[in-house]
Structure 1
């Protein structure tokens, strides 16, 4: 497969370049965000002419012949995912403005215009990440996945847990840490967390796991806020896919009030509908960061991009998940 890489200021421009040079049959292999403000590229897209899944009926059906066909297909997809009508209409208006006659590219461009994307990626952290979210969201596994990726990148990683309430929580993270040849650090209160973070070497990749908090429990939210106030760390929401859109929005709003500005999506492989996630990102203005799937800490983690979301929303979740582990190849 011959790959070609395109760089542009944003996803919409990149999609136009792909379509112009490779045609409507091009497949997006990977995307990567850059820093346009620093004089670099805004987005880098790697595309290929050969389809990743031979004979994919779903993908062939998505090749719209005109803008109205594209709009109808996208509306049908958004309705299937139980997207709130107001958000669906906003996205359709974006598609109308783009005037792209390819469903996948049009939807990706609309998502790029409407949402923000801020992956953790492989970058070094200026400060630790502290994962917050509702019970059962997958924070502990996500913390381990993030640390594993850092270790594979050759970074000095640290795993800290404040979850001393849930039975087996410390042991679970400890088992993951052992696999990574890391020593888990346990902080049983805000002061202990501050002391532990203060001992971490500069320039490392540190992830702090926290107990699951009921978003309706005001006292629980106040308690977790004391940990956030004790350290200079970035709160990142861990939010499971699936569920009612309005409930998910309220959950996201509760944790955004604690300072979370981006979120990691979990349980991608356990649901068919993702409307709740884009509803939460829209209502609370959260940035998409990473997505996870599967129980294995060495895999199943990658950045969310407009192409990833477009694939997932057009009934190509398997293809979207495959992009999480795709590395860029420009040879």
Structure 2
């Protein structure tokens, strides 16, 4: 695998360099922010050597890749079909270490984007169930916008929840971010029309039950009125099939991105993978801490692979249950 580093003013610029230089088959291995004013660095790889250079001389190496990756994905309770698919991708991406093959498999199967580093052409609407972390994620996006000097306006439509407006208002006040309130889809459209161009617009929504068709449809009215790109906020962990059903239930709104939250309180991440898979969502970021200033991290194939890996090395903890059965 040929590795190259690219330094640019922003991640989109670096990604453009990668695609122009290495093509669409390039695998993103790492992304780093170099500091204020120093830009960003992207490390990419390309399996551009002749296929014979990657021939496996030891028949057991194929089995090792299958065993290692299957063990990891099985720990995270992924459905067997997804495990087979990802293992198949990994075998097709030979690398010096098997976890790089896993990163390549994730790059093939999922989509990845960058946290916005400038004004977006369309508003970004965060959607999800109550308590999934929408408002705190808005605050984290605002904090990153302030660091990058991105003009930002937040609009909340969550005016009915007790303390909802007060919470987002507190965040915006501390971060010196403009805040508007829109109680109806029509009012939301009017608010957006009044906002100056070249600003990032973030829309905070009410939490809805994804299996309440009327509630989802009403939220969709706001998305349509704002012409927003919807981002699903969903906590990591939980049952993989439930997470997949939950993500699929929001498809009426047409979400494009997914930001998993509460990764710091989760050990099994099959739910976030199946949620992204079931609704064909693009990973934008990950909530890794309750801290507002640095609680939102970039996510790419390598960081996602690293997120999955450490658990396989841990010994299962023995718990004393109240029933006395262990």
1:158 to 153, 160, 178: 153
CA contact (8 A) 1:70 1:102 kept: no
Q: What corresponds to 2:16 in structure 1?
A: 35
Question: What does residue range 70-109 of structure 1 map to in structure 2 within 5 Å?
Answer: 70-109=65-104
TM-score, length-scaled by structure 1: 0.77
1:115 corresponds to 2:110 = yes
1:197 corresponds to 2:178 = no
Deviations, residues 249-290 of structure 1 (Å, cap 9, x unaligned) = 111011122110221111111110001111122222111111
Q: For 1:161 and 1:66, how far apart are their aligned partners in 2?
A: 53
Q: CA 1:46/1:116 → structure 2, altered by over 3 Å: closer, same or farther? A: closer
Q: For 1:202 and 1:153, how far apart are their aligned partners in 2?
A: 17
Q: What corresponds to 1:175 in structure 2?
A: 170
Report the Cα offset of residue 36 of structure 1: 6.6
Q: What corresponds to 1:303 in structure 2?
A: 298
2:2 to 10, 14, 17: 17
Q: Which runs of 5+ in 2 are unaligned?
A: 5-10, 32-59, 313-326
Q: For 2:18 and 2:302, how far apart are their aligned partners in 1?
A: 22
Report the Cα offset of residue 103 of structure 1: 2.2
Q: CA RMSD in A?
A: 2.4
Q: What corresponds to 1:213 in structure 2?
A: 208
Q: For 1:80 and 1:229, how far apart are their aligned partners in 2?
A: 39
Q: For 1:87 and 1:206, how far apart are their aligned partners in 2?
A: 35
2:255 to 244, 257, 260: 260
Question: What does residue range 218-233 of structure 1 map to in structure 2 within 5 Å?
Answer: 218-233=213-228
Q: For 2:272 and 2:109, how far apart are their aligned partners in 1?
A: 13
1:291 to 283, 286, 294: 286
TM-score, length-scaled by structure 2: 0.79
Deviations, residues 268-320 of structure 1 (Å, cap 9, x unaligned) = 11110001111122222111111112222211212210001100111269xxx
CA contact (8 A) 1:67 1:100 kept: no
Deviations, residues 16-49 of structure 1 (Å, cap 9, x unaligned) = 224xx9xxxxxxxxx98613797355566459xx
SS in 1 for 2:139: helix
Q: Which runs of 5+ in 1 are unaligned?
A: 1-15, 22-30, 48-64, 318-331
Q: CA 1:288/1:211 → structure 2, altered by over 3 Å: closer, same or farther? A: same
